Structure 1
Amino acid sequence: MRDVELADSGRRVVVIAVERGEEAVAAVNEVARRRGIRAAEVTAVGGFQDAEVGYFDREAREYVPIPVSEQVEVLSLVGDIAEVDGEPALHVHAVLGRRDGSTVGGHLRRGEVWPTLEVVVTEVAAALAKRVDPETGVALLTGTART
């Protein structure tokens, strides 16, 4: 993976090129930790040769895995990075395009990149925190900045 930090109107922007064979979620989390990014918006395009998205089952309070065991294009990947238990954590949803033009989407759990994934991380605040909501079991933004 390669990454570069830019400045845009006083905000940090990090562009990450996740390379063939790398796992996307781990790669973005690694860059966020290394660069001290605690709150950001994330977008990306590229491709996966194998992936797993998830659908949140509200009764079970867990993500139901949806395996995607084929080459797909990352048509849209959007979400955020926020602090969970003191560490930056990526939370993104993906729409993946199949060869026949159909799509599959959900919460990105993992994605093995092929040939590349171009990720733009734009810092939005010094730090935002998430905590697990006892009612839903989901890590949600607390609404308060942490410094």
Structure 2
Amino acid sequence: MEYIKSGNTIAVRIDYDEEVMEKLTELCKKENITSAAVSGIGATKLAELGLYNIETKEYKVTSYTGLYEVGSFMGNITQKDGEPYLHMHITIGDPEKNEVHSGHLNKAVIGATSEIFVTVFDKKIGRQLDEKTGINIFEFEK
């Protein structure tokens, strides 16, 4: 991973065989990022996508192995219990198989490169458990 900063934006390149969530967490700790918006593109050779079932309050995780183009990578960075909390979604596609998959990103190992922009906010956003849905939702400073 390499990156440069310009104003409140960080341009990040995550390289072949690196795992996206690990590298973004590393970036957050190194640059003390407490809240940000994230968007990017690239290619992955292994992706684990989740879908949350609100009735059972469980995630179903599906793994995809092989070279997939990343059509969309977006999400946010907040804090939970003093640690970076990454909430990312991804859409991956394989034009040869005519298939597209999308969901909550648990893991993505880069299959070529990934180009990501992180727009850092000047206010801290936390997370709190929502009893109704069972998910961690935004918690704004008062």
Alignment TM-score > 0.5, same fold: yes
Q: Mean Cα displacement is larger for which, 50-59 or 124-133?
A: 124-133
Counterpart pick for 1:101 among 92, 95, 98: 98
Between the aligned residues of both structures, percent identity stands at 26
CA distance in 2, matches of 1:74, 1:62: 25
Runs of 4 or more off by more than 3 Å in structure 1?
none
Which residue number corresponds to residue 5 of structure 1?
A: 5
CA shift digits 1:51-97 (9 cap, x unpaired):
11001111221210011112101100111001111112111111101
Aligned residues: 141
Tell me, yes or no, if structure 1 residue 121 matches structure 2 residue 118.
yes
Tell me, yes or no, if structure 1 residue 60 matches structure 2 residue 68.
no
Counterpart pick for 1:138 among 108, 117, 135: 135
Which residue number corresponds to residue 80 of structure 2?
A: 84
CA distance in 2, matches of 1:62, 1:124: 30
* TM-score in terms of structure 2 length: 0.94
Counterpart pick for 1:41 among 30, 37, 44: 37
The residue identity in structure 2 corresponding to 1:78 is M
Consecutive unaligned residues in structure 2, runs of 5 or more? none
RMSD: 1.2
Which residue number corresponds to residue 51 of structure 1?
A: 47
CA distance in 1, matches of 2:58, 2:27: 27
Consecutive unaligned residues in structure 1, runs of 5 or more? none
1:134 Cα deviation from its structure 2 partner: 2.0
